[in-house]
Each structure stands twice: as structure tokens, then as C-alpha cells.
């Protein structure tokens, strides 16, 4: 007679199932795609506050920055990518590395703070980048810019941080129509994207010449006057140039977009942004 099957403890089985699920999710997030929720307006109108997307980690290969950071303040959990994969940090190399193209929208780790940022690749290694009178120059050539009307939005609090948008037509009261000048910019190589203008900012609209170091990239936000990016050095609170190893992945497509204060308020989802390609 066969021995009776050993009865499994249901609590132990539940714990095992949760552990396996977390391991599978961790491997998937490390190797393939990382979820990302847009927290600021620095990439408008390409990306809006509340857009939810998955970052393609396979696009540029893998480095220490590919490891996930796990932060749950409510329980005091704060595990950084460097804690998990710091042994790979420092050589500015990647496994199965592929270089980004000019115009790609990329999530990267801030070189100093380690926070995740999302911006557009403007300068490649060896490029000379400059802003003069609010116009972009790459390798001493003026980048094409064509007026494309206005970008409009209501001046209401946006996202969980309830940030008010900045307006070119200021002052604008709560609930009023906030506008920004809209342009189509054409980068060397032919990539086109929209950029917005709010006004003249001397620190980002009138700069010296930045020569991008080997193995580094120069990033800018599409909402040019409301973006902390490579135009401002790290020492003064900006991003500066970003090492190759700090790239997390390429943003290709918006999954959905939450226009309210929470990702889970489905009644505030923007119906026209489901599966929208990022250009």
C-alpha cells in the first residue's frame, strides 16, 4: 500500500507562492521592462504627468542601473540598485550594450542622487551642444524649429504632488486656460518631436558650449523652460552629462494615463493616450 501523501501546511504554501511570485517579478523587472509613472511636467507634451509606461531595459543592454531600487517608506524599506548590483558600478560599461540614438526618450539614474529621470537624448559623445537665445545648436549648427500652434491645459493641480503648470500667458487663475508656444524640432538625423516654450530663462536658454565626454550623453526635457536636465551642471542642482552605465532603458509606448491625483482613479484616465507611441 502506498504511503499517504504528506499534507502541506497552507501557510507555508502561501508564503512560498508569494516568494516565487516576487522572484519572477524581480527577474522580469531587472531584465526586461520597468514600470515608470511620469511625476513631473518636464517632458510635456510628449509625456504628461500621470502617464504610465514600461521602460524597455533590453534596448541598451545591462549595467548596475538595470537592477531595481525597492523603496517602501511605510515599512522603512529602502534598497537601492547600487546595494544589489554595486559591484558592476564604476567601469561605465554595459553587458550586451547598445548605444542610444539621438532623439530617444530614456530613463536614467541621476549621476549624483541616483533618482530616476526621464528625458530626451540630445547630445551624443563628442557632440558640442549649446542654447543661444532659446535655440538649440548641435555641433555649431542651428537645429530646425517650426512653429506648431499652442499647447493648452487647465491651470489645475496635477498629479499626486498637485503641481500647478507654468504658463506662458501668465498670470492665469485657477481653472483658466494655460498656454505655451509649441514647436516641432528636427534633430540631426531627421528625428522630429514637439517642444514647448514658456519664456526666457537665462540659465537654460543662454548657455556656453557643452562638449559631451566619451561614454556620456546630453539630455534635455521637451518642456524646455520647465526641465532640470544636462544644461545645468550637477554642482548647481542640475543633471550634467550622464554616463552610459546610468541608462536604465528606452521609453517606447504609454500604457495608459491617469489625469487625476492617483494612478488607480480609473475615472480620470485619459482615453486618448492608451498604448500611445512615444515619438
Residue matched to cell numbers 530617444: 104
Of the residues 44, 57, 119, 155, which is catalytic? Answer: 119
Please report the beta strands in 221-261, taking only residues with DSSP state E, as ranges in sequence order: 242-243, 247-257
16 included as an active-site residue: no
**Cβ proximity of 275 and 253 under 8 Å:** yes
Query: Which secondary structure element, helix H or strand E, spans residue 204, and what is its range?
Result: helix 202-205
Cα distance between residue 127 and residue 149, in whole Å: 30
**Cβ proximity of 69 and 77 under 8 Å:** no
Nearest to 249 by CA among 70, 131, 109: 109
119 included as an active-site residue: yes
Cα distance between residue 56 and residue 33, in whole Å: 5
Of the residues 42, 63, 66, 227, which is catalytic? Answer: 42
| CB neighbourhood size of 240 (10 A) | 21
CA atoms within 13 A on the CB side of 46: 28
Nearest to 168 by CA among 142, 146, 145, 195: 195
Cα distance between residue 6 and residue 235, in whole Å: 63
Q: Which residues are catalytic?
A: 42, 119
Amino acid at each position: 500500500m502506498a504511503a499517504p501523501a504528506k499534507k502541506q501546511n497552507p501557510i507555508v504554501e502561501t508564503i512560498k507562492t508569494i516568494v516565487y511570485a516576487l522572484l519572477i517579478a524581480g527577474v522580469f523587472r531587472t531584465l526586461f521592462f520597468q514600470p515608470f509613472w511620469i511625476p513631473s511636467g518636464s517632458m510635456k507634451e510628449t509625456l504628461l504627468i500621470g502617464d504610465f509606461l514600461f521602460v524597455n531595459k533590453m534596448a541598451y543592454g545591462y549595467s548596475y542601473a538595470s537592477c531595481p531600487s525597492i523603496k517602501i517608506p511605510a515599512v522603512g524599506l529602502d534598497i537601492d540598485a547600487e546595494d544589489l548590483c554595486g559591484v558592476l558600478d564604476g567601469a561605465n560599461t554595459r553587458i550586451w550594450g547598445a548605444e542610444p540614438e539621438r532623439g530617444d526618450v530614456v530613463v536614467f539614474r541621476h549621476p549624483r542622487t541616483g533618482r530616476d529621470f526621464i528625458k530626451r537624448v540630445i547630445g551624443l559623445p563628442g557632440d558640442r551642444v549649446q542654447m543661444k537665445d532659446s535655440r538649440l545648436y548641435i555641433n555649431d549648427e542651428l537645429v530646425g524649429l517650426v512653429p506648431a500652434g499652442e499647447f493648452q491645459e487647465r491651470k489645475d493641480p496635477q498629479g499626486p504632488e498637485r503641481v500647478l503648470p507654468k504658463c506662458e500667458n501668465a498670470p492665469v487663475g485657477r481653472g483658466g486656460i494655460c498656454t505655451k508656444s509649441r514647436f516641432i524640432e528636427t534633430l540631426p538625423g531627421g528625428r522630429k518631436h514637439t517642444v514647448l516654450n514658456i519664456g526666457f530663462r537665462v540659465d537654460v536658454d543662454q548657455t556656453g558650449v557643452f562638449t559631451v565626454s566619451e561614454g556620456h550623453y546630453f539630455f534635455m526635457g521637451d518642456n524646455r523652460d520647465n526641465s532640470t536636465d544636462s544644461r545645468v551642471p550637477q554642482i548647481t542642482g542640475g543633471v550634467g552629462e550622464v554616463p552610459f552605465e546610468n541608462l536604465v532603458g528606452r521609453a517606447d509606448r504609454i500604457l495608459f494615463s491617469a489625469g487625476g491625483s492617483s494612478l488607480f482613479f480609473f475615472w480620470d484616465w485619459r482615453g486618448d493616450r492608451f498604448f500611445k507611441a512615444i515619438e
